[in-house]
Amino acid sequence: MVFFSESLGIPSLRVLAQKLLDLLFDYEVEKEPLLFHVFSNAGAMLYRYVLELLQTHRRFCHLRVVGTIFDSGPGDSNLVGALQALSAILEHRPAALRLLLLVAFTLVAVLFHMLLAPLTTLFHTHFYDRLLNAASRWPELYLYSSADEVIRARDVERVVEARLAHQVQVRSVNFVSSAHVSHLRDYPTYYTSLCVDFMRSCVHC
């Protein structure tokens, strides 16, 4: 339901984002270099509030973020992709229930988009648009795939272009054939080396 609440401008993930950052202090690692590894749109929605807290919350503004890795995201509004994701979640449910839930989700999503989205934009910036113009300037690595049926490759590439325009050090890798959040599973050695090399470069830059 996070996707609906975010679409309505309800910042339901803000509390979770603060709890996540509070954990750094609970474990007394708040002075260590911090690198985020963000998965899909749910992770991107949460990360959006992490960024806001890093900029506005006195306790978090001194945290040393050195980089962010995005895996299979972020993506712009995409009903087909959302249906693909929901279908995967419901994969082991009875066929009739699965179909019913997919139809219900589609109807609700269309109604939300037609009736409420125009109003929501008056007071709430969509997470995708927020990340396009984020104030953060640490390096970013985007790992995505043209074969991803949930997050369109062109959405990720648009973010890459926007971040480069903001003078952010960006690297992107298109795995071409791997499915949504399956790059590590399909290319374990290559994926791991990309992440480790990026982490090392961020810590030493």
pLDDT in tens, 116-167: 666 565 555 788 999 999 999 999 999 999 999 889 999 999 999 999 999 9
Kindly provide the b/e burial profile for residues 75-111, where b requires at least 16 CB atoms within 10 angstroms of the residue's own CB.
Answer: bbebeebbbbbbbeebeeeeeeebeeeeeebeeebee
pTM of the model: 0.82
Contact call for residues 141 and 194 (beta carbons, < 8 A): yes
Sign of CA dihedral 172, 173, 177, 181: negative
Radius of gyration of the chain measured on its C-alpha atoms: 18
Question: What residue type is assigned to position 69 of the chain?
Answer: I
| pLDDT tens digits, 188-205 | 999 999 999 999 999 986
The confidence band for 104, taking pLDDT boundaries of 50, 70 and 90, is: confident
State the CATH number of the domain containing residue 54: 3.40.50.1820
Task: Pick the most confident of 9-18, 47-56, 118-127.
Answer: 47-56
- Report whether pLDDT(169) > 90: yes
Number of domains, the chain = 1
Q: State which residues form the domain around 164.
A: 2-204
Q: Rounded to an integer, what distance in angstroms lies between the CA atom of residue 6 and that of residue 86?
A: 17
